[in-house]
Chain A
């Protein structure tokens, strides 16, 4: 485990089908106690026992940060993924016992901001639901611009509009509606911070547009959790623990290390936080670096790997783990 924070044993209290793609899950503590409060933007890692395979997926918390009675997450079904979201959709039912990590926030609001401008795409809405609740309670200024595929797939649109009125702007891809980012970014007061969460392309578009309009990098924030990609199986030697392991096609390197009984640190399991960074002792082949953490120079030298999302093709990979 990462830095020794106790895990939270929970029971599934509620499963709600939000639309064809998204289900919402509510967890409460098994002992009936209070959950820790958290800060908007935080995620938890949900541990799943998928018929003998241990899966650990990060999901943003979307319940009210001050609600200590339970935590809520939303999960979008990913048919092509490794199976974590499918497991959540098909097998997780009210009454089931599961385990959550402590909340960790890798996508915090900048508390100094004069205004928070939130830009969401699809399931990327979830961290903003918690953040808006927190900013609202503290009397801060914010505006949400939320793109969804269609009205039917617009998760939480009605709820958000009812709560926050004209501060919520919704765009339907199906109707050809698109955020007019240029106009939006032109008129923001000094001290505004942008937060983007959604598909990779949308995040890149927000960063590029803001940069071209003279926004400083430190005023533009984004979160993109990568689902560990599937790939071909590969062999790895773990030098410190003296083990050889095989990483299966639908398994991440980190999961394979854990399955072999080797302790490895982690926080986000999505290539963003840097906690699982591991030294590469030998690399005869090509590392598929899928993370946002290592610099391009570091990636080029193949001396470090982020086992939560990265894979390998070649004849020999030896890690200091």
Chain B
């Protein structure tokens, strides 16, 4: 089992645990990439949740696709989505129809987990009620504080905003509402003086 160990960070940065079978009337799983392994590990602990589970899975941006393993779990509802954006209306509908007692689990990259938790919170669940387990890539989802555009799967720091083209450094400051880290222009005071990018988030 690959558990991610995070450095201690500032208090806005979320922390993650290990998915454990919750008590409830229905169980909704959303995972991307290697997050599928966390879901499989949970089901390996017992079959109890199986009859009332719904899994939405998005293959990782790094190519990791564990659809087959998840499908083999044999839950009543399994949906493979090419992207989180494509899955969003399904997720919103499932949450809107749900009742209290629903357990929500998110596994995979930080961006995916944060977007699932934000959707659950929007539907009325407390943010803390969503179980999260990090697996796979440490690539970040970053909002440019200047143009407001979000760049997915950022591995470099600094990086170039995919919307406005400014060079941004990536802060640890994290917005649960936006499901994103904050990117701030690195050469605002000295235009053109941009340090070399390093791969900080593999």
Contact = CB atoms under 8 A, between A and B. Distances in A.
Q: Do any CB atoms of chain A lie under 8 A from CB atoms of chain B in the complex?
A: yes
A187 B103 CA distance: 15
Contacts of B129: 216, 218-219
Given A212-B23, A213-B24, A214-B23, A185 B100 contact: yes
A190 B24 contact: no
B128 A190 contact: no
B100 A189 contact: yes
Task: Select the residue from B23, B96, B126, B129 with max chain A CB neighbours within 10 A.
Answer: B126
Nearest to B94: A190
B125 interface: yes
A186 B125 contact: no
Interface in B81-125: 95-96, 98-103, 123-125
Interface residue SS majority, chain B: loop
Contact of A190 (B22, B23, B125): B125
Given A186-B25, A190-B95, A216 B102 contact: no
A190 B25 contact: no
Contacts of A215: 100-101
B23 A213 contact: yes
Task: Select the residue from B23, B99, B123 with max chain A CB neighbours within 10 A.
Answer: B99
Interface residues of A, number: 19
A219 B126 contact: yes
A214 B128 contact: no
A188 interface: yes
B128 to A, nearest CB: 6
Contact of B99 (A189, A216, A219): A189
A185 B23 CA distance: 14
A214 B125 CA distance: 12
B23 A219 contact: no
Contact of A216 (B95, B96, B128): B128
Interface string A267-278: 000000000000
Interface string A81-124: 00000000000000000000000000000001110000000000
B126 A190 contact: no
Nearest to B25: A214
A36 interface: no
Contacts of B96: 190
Interface string A213-249: 1111011000000000000000000000000000000
12 contacts: A186-B99, A188-B99, A189-B124, A190-B96, A191-B124, A191-B125, A213-B100, A214-B101, A215-B100, A218-B129, A219-B125, A219-B126
Interface of B: 22-25, 95-96, 98-103, 123-126, 128-129
